[in-house]
């Protein structure tokens, strides 16, 4: 009747090494897409060789495989690595379920308590991502399931450095974002001393991790805000590279690819004047972007495509070609006007229109039911990663703020900016190089 017996465990059969060096030729780092190429290849291989998942043995873990049973796919067994040069959840494939949660340090909690908290959180994240129960009073909600590509990612907000007396270690990149004229931000759902991103391909695995992280916070930090999101399920679509958002639009076409020569320098902090503790880290901008779907869906498809600048069917630019064909910004139609309108969202956000800045968008959709007016409370939990927010998110958002055709159909309702330190080495916890500096 004991559970968690090692003899019954069966996870980690198909470990997915995180992108310790995105773009490495071994194919292991997945592009942040629902059906990343390397993930698909992995599963294809498993199927072709008849590898039976869920058999006894394997790494120490949590998932109890009843005798003779085998999981349907490797979904449950898919595992991301906690330790590494970068934190997980940045270059890993988009998961089907996400939780974003922010905490504020509790009154009286300072550097010591923060260090202990990050130590607890890191231990929990490492165990859960390996498919093991949480260190204390595990709720059992994830029991039977494998890690299901769980990732847990930690970030520090501006106030964290005041609370911990570490102001001198605060990067200037954490200075508050400029105000944008179209912002309608709810302070209660914005900011926070600490931010945690949880992603997994199983809803109960994700919820289990959220509860464990919250329990670990104990008296050291109190929950500030929390949001739930989702992406397409693995296997629901054959589309190889990009996902769709709740407007029905292909999303993520212009994301930098780990195979790009400059991927690391765009996404991760290398050195150039940053505090040493941020080496291998990244800055994340989080925006809750409500979609005004009742208005959007009144537009005819051709109107929607003009707003975006891409075809809805396959994400190809209105100037022609396929999804990944470069957009011809100069192409004009029979009437002499640009085929891709000057205020089209995809024109404004093109990296080569923004000083080459690029951010790695890794969003979740959200749907929190309906408002009192009958309109859906739905949209995008925009999450983007970059080496420098002032060269990534800010200039693009500033241009969007001035003349994006999409603006009437969206509303930025919450905002956060966090510094996610580099990944923890084995025996280390996330943020240790800051908190024990």
Span 262-321, contacts to a copy of itself by CB under 8 A: 293, 297, 301, 311-314, 316
Q: Among this protein's residues, is 26 annotated catalytic?
A: no
Q: Rule CB under 8 A: choose which of 93, 117, 125, 247 binds a copy of itself.
A: 247
Choice between 121 and 364, CB closer to a copy of itself: 364
> Shortest gap between Cβ of 68 and a copy of itself (angstroms)?
9
User: Is residue 326 within the footprint of a copy of itself (CB under 8 A)?
Assistant: no
287 SS3 class: strand
The residue from 30, 193, 201, 251 that is catalytic is 251
Handedness of CA 239, 243, 246, 247 (dihedral sign): negative
> Is residue 75 within the footprint of a copy of itself (CB under 8 A)?
yes
Least Cα distance to 287 among 371, 352, 242, 229 occurs for 229
Judged by CB under 8 A, the residue of 71, 89, 256, 275 near a copy of itself is 71
In the complex with a copy of itself, the residue whose CB is nearer, 65 or 174, is 65
Q: What is the DSSP string of 77-131?
A: T-EE-SSSSS-SSSSSPPPSEEEEEEEEEPTT--HHHHHHHHHHHHHHHHHHHTT
Residue 218 Cβ vs a copy of itself, minimum distance, rounded to whole Å: 12
Asked whether 78 and 146 are in contact (CB, 8 A), the reply is: yes
Angstrom distance (rounded) from CA 126 to CA 146? 14
According to CB under 8 A, which residues from 8 to 47 bind a copy of itself? 10, 35, 39-40, 43-44, 47
Which residues, numbered 123-152, are part of the site for a copy of itself (CB under 8 A)? 137, 139-141, 143-146, 148
Q: Which is nearer to a copy of itself, 312 or 411 (CB)?
A: 312
DSSP letter (8 states) at residue 315: -
- Contact call for residue 226 and a copy of itself (CB under 8 A): yes
Q: Cα–chain-centroid distance for residue 144?
A: 25
Give the interface size with a copy of itself as a residue count (CB under 8 A). Answer: 82
User: Cβ of residue 347: shortest distance to a copy of itself, in angstroms?
Assistant: 18
What residues contact 141, with CB distance under 8 A and at least 6 apart? Answer: 204, 207, 208, 211
Q: Which two tokens stand for residue 432?
A: 């240790």
Q: Which of residues 156-215 bind a copy of itself (CB under 8 A)?
A: 201-205, 207, 211, 215
**Contacts (CB under 8 A) with a copy of itself, residues 344-373:** 365, 367-370
| Euclidean distance between CA atoms 188 and 22, whole angstroms | 35
Q: Which residues are catalytic?
A: 251
């Amino acid at each position: 009747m004991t559970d968690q017996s090692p003899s019954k465990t069966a996870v980690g059969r198909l470990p997915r090494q995180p992108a310790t060096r995105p773009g490495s030729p071994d194919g292991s780092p997945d592009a942040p897409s629902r059906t990343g190429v390397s993930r698909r290849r992995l599963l294809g291989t498993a199927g072709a060789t008849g590898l039976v998942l869920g058999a006894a043995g394997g790494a120490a873990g949590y998932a109890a495989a009843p005798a003779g049973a085998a999981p349907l796919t490797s979904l449950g067994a898919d595992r991301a690595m906690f330790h590494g040069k970068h934190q997980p959840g940045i270059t890993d494939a988009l998961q089907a379920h996400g939780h974003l949660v922010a905490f504020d340090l509790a009154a009286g909690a300072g550097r010591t308590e923060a260090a202990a908290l990050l130590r607890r959180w890191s231990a929990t994240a490492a165990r859960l991502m390996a498919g093991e129960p949480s260190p204390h009073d595990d709720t059992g909600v994830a029991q039977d399931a494998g890690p299901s590509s769980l990732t847990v990612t930690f970030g520090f907000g501006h106030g964290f450095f005041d609370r911990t007396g570490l102001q001198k270690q605060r990067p200037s990149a954490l200075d508050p974002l400029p105000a944008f004229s179209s912002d309608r931000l709810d302070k209660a759902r914005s900011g926070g001393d600490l931010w945690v991103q949880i992603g997994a391909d199983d809803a109960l695995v994700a919820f289990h991790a959220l509860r464990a992280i919250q329990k670990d916070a104990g008296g050291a930090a109190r929950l500030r805000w929390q949001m739930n999101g989702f992406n397409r399920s693995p296997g629901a679509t054959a589309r190889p590279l990009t996902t769709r958002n709740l407007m029905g639009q292909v999303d993520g076409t212009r994301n930098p690819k780990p195979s790009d020569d400059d991927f690391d320098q765009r996404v991760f902090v290398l050195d150039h004047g940053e505090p040493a503790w941020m080496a291998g880290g990244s800055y994340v901008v989080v925006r809750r972007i409500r979609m005004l779907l009742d208005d959007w869906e009144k537009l005819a498809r051709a109107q929607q495509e003009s707003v975006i600048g891409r075809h809805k069917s396959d994400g190809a630019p209105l100037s022609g070609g396929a999804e990944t064909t470069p957009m011809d910004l100069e192409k004009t139609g029979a009437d002499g006007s640009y085929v891709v309108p000057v205020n089209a969202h995809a024109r404004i956000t093109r990296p080569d229109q923004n000083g080459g800045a690029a951010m790695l968008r890794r969003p979740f959709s959200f749907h929190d039911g309906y408002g009192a007016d009958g309109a859906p409370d739905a949209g995008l939990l925009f999450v983007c990663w970059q080496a420098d927010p002032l060269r990534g998110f800010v200039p693009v958002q500033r241009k969007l703020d001035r003349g994006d055709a999409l603006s009437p159909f969206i509303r930025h309702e919450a905002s956060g900016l966090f510094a996610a330190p580099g990944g923890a080495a084995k025996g280390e916890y996330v943020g240790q190089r800051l908190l024990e500096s």
